[in-house]
Structure 1
Amino acid sequence: MSTGSTWAADAELEVAGQVVELVARLAGAGAQAEVTVSRTELALTRFANSAIHQNVAGSAVDVRLRVHVAGRTATGGGNAVLADGLRALVERVLAAARFTPPDPAWSGLTPPVTVLASTDWDPATADAGPDERAALVRAFVDAADGLATAGYCRTAYRAAAFANSAGHSARGRAAEAAMDGIARDGGADGTARHWVDRLADLDGAALGRRAAAKARAAADPVELAPGRYPVVLEPAAVGDLLENLSWYGFNGKRYAERQSFAAPGVAQFDRAVTLVDDPLAASGLPFDLEGTPTRALTLVDAGTTNAVAHDRRSAAEVGTASTGHAGPDSSTFGPVPRNLRLATAGTAGSASTAGSASTAGSASMAGGDLAGAIADPETAALVSRMQRGLLVSDLWYTRVLDPLSLVITGLTRNGLWLVEDGRVTRAVRDLRFTESYPRALAPGAVLEVGRRAQRLPDRTVGAWSEAPSLRLASWNFTGGASG
């Protein structure tokens, strides 16, 4: 991967300006156009059976155009950046606009507005090569000490520019790195993952030790009857809560359509919950797909729902302003906050420091291999104050049953343990759950929030969540993993 490609430093902004000029030339001065040109360089090193099996890198350019002509709106995209390709894109989108229904809800273009420069980004991460990622994989594998391992290490660089017919333009750059790995001991799995904006901050050995310790601690699980149990959710499990709250709750389109639980001004969560979407807390782009500046947005403030994410269209529907959350799918699925941070007990309402992914098994009050069930001292502290309940490492295959109350069904994975008198006593077979995520975090339901958070990678470049462990009063387990 290299940021020193054949493109000039301002190539994205130059292409965006060319597209805006083409629209004016072909459709007349009355046409409104907005265009985003983004370049993503992604490199991925995958491993399985404790050996690297895939090392790929690619650079892709995406040109996204939206036009509003004669009361009709159309959108299109492509990867051509030469004159003929750009003209073909504009002609295709203008032709589509002639056949689309009228768009009376068109919210207009973002006017010229100041966009802050990109936050500091790390060129060494953007230019990282396969040897550097392979070294992290080797460290992960060696630290697992003979267990079978699998996972990936990725690095990414993004450069983007925006321009529209109203004279507004912006540009930004960002870099990131992430690692996600699994260790297997017989039929028991343990995982560890971490997102950073500097590759140098990834510790493959620490992640490998953590994954292996959790796999060994998950061996020989026992069956446990379904029911409501107090729980300590580790950061990976909390990350699933944040992702679903984001997609289905704090989504401005769903809110405008009354398909969201969110009720701004209402104390819907425990006072321990402060939730912030903060794309600029790490290396992130300073504007969205409509050119609106991005900023920190407090969604929940000390338990009270404060806001939902909006693009220009959903904001106009409810009579407010865009929060800078327009994305590729916001016109269809809705604008979604993609950089959620759940404030820790030590830093409520302010940026928390992403916790180390190192294993601190000595903090556990259990003996033997069960010590590895607990990833860090913060989780151990929460476990020590739970009389009887379950320690949950991760949630997966989560599906929405009722969007309005956000009732979710899913499974535990990568480690589930019984806690008795503040001690991890047995590994437990995975359980299915059915739970309303807002209800699980409702007033009185959050007993403790950890003091340190982990930043976890999403499946897509540029998205992450930052979560501490949580001790909750109740979680509804409805059956075994098979049903």
Structure 2
Amino acid sequence: MSDELLDTCERVLRLVGTDAEAEVTLTSGTESLTRFATSFIHQNVADAVQRVHLRVALSGRVAEATGNQTDDEALARLVRSTLDAAQLQPVDPGWPGLAPVADAPAVEHWDGATASAEPGERAARVGDFVAAAGDFESAGFCSTEGVTVAFANSAGQQLSGRSTTATMDGIARSGTSDGSARASSASLADLDGAAVGRDATRRARESADASDLEPGRYEVVLTPSCVVDVLGFLAIYGFNGRAVEEGRSFARIGEAQFDPAITLTDDVMHPLSVGLPFDAEGTPKRRLELVNAGVTSALVKDRRTARALGNGESTGNAVAGAGSWGALPANLVLAAGSVAPDDLVGAVERGLLVTDLWYTRILDPRTQVVTGLTRNGVWLIEDGRIVRPVTNMRFTQSYLKALAPGAVRGVGSDLTLVGDATFGVGAYVVPSLHLASWNFTGGAKG
């Protein structure tokens, strides 16, 4: 398959000719979804993906276009329209040129059975989730995705790769409470629908008859789902080279901006990661240490931001369609600790265990002040024991301060892949965290 896709990429480059710089990405695969609500499957859908993306530069005049057909006539139309559009563009002073020839790391997060999974295989996991929920009403989805991607440019770079992802995400609900759980992997066989259902149902059961809690600062134990939200904002608004270029970032290379317990990498080669070993510009990905024992040590850059910053090459983090955002990490890994999740709770004097953060919005990118809500289970902890469920609360918290030196009291051993990370870019591998302080400002109703 990858050889066939690369041949098509070369056909496109030949059609472009030698008067323009050009790069082409061809994506082929299947995205499938089984959804359920009120404890019944109500939708099975599948989308056969075929996408050709072409970017050209004519003497610094840049244009790009996308099509979904690969016959000769369709490819010729795509090339003509893209070249015509480029001639109408002003010269782009920031055009960094094409990625040079370089090998991608030898990693492949691929499972053939997941790529070809039938609706019945996803439905079986949904059935296990629903059975585990028992009398609780349940809803959610099970998805599978398998894509093969080929890249070629007129500078001679050629790469191909393939990746699969499977995700189970569900909620169990009673008349007074909700509980959620999720799991992701490169292999559908790794997903245990019954286990995910039991976790969601336990949280719903233990959240029944929740009562209000006074706003204020509390210790928190954040599950991996919450940690992904925190890291997503730090990545997009902080470690993003474009944000640094524009003066919107908190990141200061070489400074101890985080607790020593925090080591954060972008690492597609991690065994729990998913995704491709190269980025949208054809630059190979590599393991990039963003934070080393609390010290900010690197930024993510695409070719444009690397050129603008003038201090190095692309880190392999270009994202298709993210020209205004800049580079984004798709494979964040937060180093695990040695503490079991239950022991994180056991170390809390008085605080909250939080299942999910949602409806989170940035208030100040430079200080990372974010506001949002909790959902799907919050519990008060006193003297290391969960004593009662708490109604959902609003928070206004600097994510940077939440992870600052002295603020991290424990890092869990429960390293978990969480798919569809913040803003839908990539999937992160993270543990639970015990943090010293989180600012809850009111109830969810106002």
Fold in common (TM above 0.5): yes
Paired with 1:279 and 1:123, the residues of 2 have a C-alpha distance of 19
What's 2:314 paired with? 322
Is contact 2:2-2:160 (8 Å) kept? Answer: no
Letter in 2 for 1:474: S
What's 1:279 paired with? 268
User: Per-residue deviation at 1:157?
Assistant: 0.4
Moved over 6 A (4+): 459-462
What's 1:196 paired with? 185
What's 1:356 paired with? none
Alignment equivalent of 1:154, drawn from 129, 143, 160: 143
* SS of equivalent residue, structure 2 residue 442: strand
Is contact 2:99-2:283 (8 Å) kept? Answer: yes
Q: TM-score, normalised by structure 1?
A: 0.89
User: Per-residue deviation at 1:40?
Assistant: 3.1
Paired with 1:115 and 1:451, the residues of 2 have a C-alpha distance of 30
Alignment of 1:103-114 (within 5 A): 103-114=92-103
* SS of equivalent residue, structure 1 residue 10: helix
Paired with 2:424 and 2:441, the residues of 1 have a C-alpha distance of 34
Alignment equivalent of 2:357, drawn from 395, 417, 422: 395
Deviates more, 1:111-120 or 1:245-254: 111-120
* SS of equivalent residue, structure 1 residue 128: coil
User: Per-residue deviation at 1:70?
Assistant: 1.9
Paired with 2:121 and 2:152, the residues of 1 have a C-alpha distance of 36
* Residues 341-385 of structure 1: per-residue CA shift (max 9 Å, x gap): 111114xxxxxxxxxxxxxxxxxxxxxxxxxxxxxx922101111
- Aligned-residue sequence identity (percent) comes to 51
What's 2:198 paired with? 209
What's 1:15 paired with? 8
User: Per-residue deviation at 1:120?
Assistant: 4.9
* SS of equivalent residue, structure 2 residue 239: coil
* Unpaired segments ≥5 residues, structure 1: 1-7, 347-376
* Residues 446-482 of structure 1: per-residue CA shift (max 9 Å, x gap): 0110122121111688821122111111001111102
Residue 462 to residue 161, structure 1, CA distance change in 2 (3 Å) = farther
Paired with 1:461 and 1:221, the residues of 2 have a C-alpha distance of 31
Alignment equivalent of 1:131, drawn from 112, 120, 134: 120
Give the superposed CA RMSD.
Answer: 1.5
Matched, 1:453 2:427: no
Matched, 1:34 2:23: yes
* Residues 314-338 of structure 1: per-residue CA shift (max 9 Å, x gap): 0111121101011113312111112
* SS of equivalent residue, structure 1 residue 337: coil
What's 1:358 paired with? none
* Unpaired segments ≥5 residues, structure 2: none
Is contact 1:118-1:284 (8 Å) kept? Answer: no
Matched, 1:86 2:75: yes
* SS of equivalent residue, structure 1 residue 75: strand
Matched, 1:482 2:445: yes
* SS of equivalent residue, structure 2 residue 340: helix
Alignment equivalent of 1:293, drawn from 276, 284, 291: 284
Is contact 1:329-1:335 (8 Å) kept? Answer: no
* SS of equivalent residue, structure 1 residue 447: strand
Paired with 2:37 and 2:288, the residues of 1 have a C-alpha distance of 39
Residue 118 to residue 85, structure 1, CA distance change in 2 (3 Å) = farther
Paired with 2:290 and 2:230, the residues of 1 have a C-alpha distance of 14
Matched, 1:308 2:299: yes
Residue 461 to residue 62, structure 1, CA distance change in 2 (3 Å) = farther
Alignment equivalent of 2:347, drawn from 385, 402, 405: 385
* SS of equivalent residue, structure 1 residue 91: helix
Matched, 1:230 2:223: no
Residue 404 to residue 40, structure 1, CA distance change in 2 (3 Å) = farther
Is contact 1:117-1:172 (8 Å) kept? Answer: no
* SS of equivalent residue, structure 1 residue 15: helix
Q: TM-score, normalised by structure 2?
A: 0.96
What's 2:336 paired with? 344
What's 1:471 paired with? 434
Paired with 1:187 and 1:403, the residues of 2 have a C-alpha distance of 36
* SS of equivalent residue, structure 1 residue 466: strand
Is contact 1:72-1:100 (8 Å) kept? Answer: yes
Paired with 2:102 and 2:274, the residues of 1 have a C-alpha distance of 21
Matched, 1:140 2:129: yes
What's 2:390 paired with? 428
| Equivalent residue pairs, number | 442
